[in-house]
A = this chain, B = another copy of it.
């Protein structure tokens, strides 16, 4: 199995969710993160003091998938999250040794 971590623009979360449903993935976990990269944060100015905010808001999506599905999942996320603007994000693929469903105790691909 693979553990796929995608950093995307916040407003793309719904699109990504739908795209994943499109390739048969019905489970995922999302969280708010702040990203630093080529897309730079903005300077905010309060009463003449300039605050350089280096991080920009992003959403992280984590999804565990069966080996066979990994490529199509990566592809689906990429298509859904792409705006062709800097800061669209990254997708990271890690190896996943095991997965357990808490409720049933099922393990492996069944647990997803």
Contact of A99 among B32, B91, B102 (CB under 8 A): B91
Q: Are the CB atoms of B105 and A78 closer together than 8 Å?
A: yes
A3: B residues at CB distance < 8 A: 5, 92, 94
| Chain B residue contacts of A29, Cβ below 8 A | 7, 33-36, 58, 60
Chain copies in complex: 3
> Interface residues of A, CB < 8 Å — how many?
56
Chain B residues in 8 Å Cβ range of A64: 90, 92
Measured between alpha carbons, how far is A96 from B103 in the docked complex, in Å? 25
Complex interface: chain B residues within 8 A of A28 (CB): 35-37
- Report chain B residues within 8 Å CB of A88: 101-103
Q: Are B86 and A92 in contact (CB under 8 A)?
A: no
Query: Quick check: B93 and A94 within 8 Å, CB to CB?
Result: no
Please tell me if the beta carbons of A31 and B31 are within 8 angstroms of each other in the complex: yes
Quick check: A36 and B27 within 8 Å, CB to CB?
yes
